[in-house]
Amino acid sequence: MELTHFNEQGRARMVDVSEKVQTYRVARAAATVRMAKATMDKIKEGSIGKGDVLAVAQVAGIMAAKKNSELIPMCHPLLLTKVDISFEIEETALHIRSEVRCHGETGVEMEALTAVSVAALTVYDMCKACLLYTSDAADERSSARPCSAICASTVSTFSIKRAARAAFMKRRNEEMAQVTAVNISEKKGVRKHEVPYIDVKCRHGIVGDAHAGDWHRQISLLADESVDTMRAICQLELDAGIFAENINTRGIELKTLPVGTRLRVGETELEVTQIGKQCHNDCEIKRTTGKCVMPTEGIFAIVIKEGRIQAGDEIEVLKNETH
């Protein structure tokens, strides 16, 4: 049987395999994503801001295998009977492997390669923000690169916190202002990562956050509307916590609130203590765009009433007792 991707006119075509006998087919492929140890540690801890890296990459890889014929023009659509994505973690390398099976007239090696390739690209996409905001960013930029081939697909799985945020965005036009994300960092001078909730305590701030303490800047807040203005001029991915803010909000003009204003946030109460601050000397966003919103539009507060804050909590401006 003559197999060629060209017809009598010399134009591309999909090979005719209708006369081939159906046989059991299996193919395996592998890819490696290399990164800094700090990034790998975040993957293992589950502290990457975008969510569970391996779960999303696994689903992406499975879905990619099933969509292979739509991505690679001359590949045949196949009825796959198995797609499996597995991971092996080393200190600075993530090895991704796929296995694809079917019973058909042609092989599944392209499906296996596509599966690991998309899985690896998904890992890179989930972790790329770490390249700008870790202390060893220069080393990470040189060592974290997409793999040379191969990858995966699937139905994406989102963490509960992202589902809650998505639900909030659908309700963004509601009358009450709301929290859209809460974020912490374990050390100062780095971007914060999104978490499902934060616990706040008087004379302390946020439990587990590097900026906690008995001082006037226990909690930082930044409006999504302010971040939206930066998204219009900045090509960086501006996720929650990228400006080192603890709480993201929508529906309230934080920058107009005077010092001393009391806010009811969910079951807690906060008091505004400062508007804006000096931008960090090594702010990647300011270097890229020439502008950063936190110095002029972010606010800081202390805890007046303890409790838990999470995405979806309503925000109410209380009467300012000092006026």
Catalytic positions, please? 125
Strand order in the sheet with 23-34: 23-34, 93-104, 80-89
Write out the E strands in the chain. 23-34, 80-89, 93-104, 177-184, 193-195, 197-201, 205-206, 219-223, 247-250, 262-265, 268-275, 299-305, 307-310, 314-318
- Two tokens at 76? 């045949």
Under DSSP, is residue 221 helix (H, G, I), strand (E, B) or coil?
strand
Main-chain dihedrals φ then ψ at residue 64, nearest 5 degrees:
-65, -40
Alpha-carbon span 152 to 84, nearest angstrom: 9
Alpha-carbon span 82 to 70, nearest angstrom: 18
Main-chain dihedrals φ then ψ at residue 318, nearest 5 degrees:
-90, 165
Compute the half-sphere exposure of residue 41: CA atoms within 13 Å on the CB side of its CA. Answer: 5
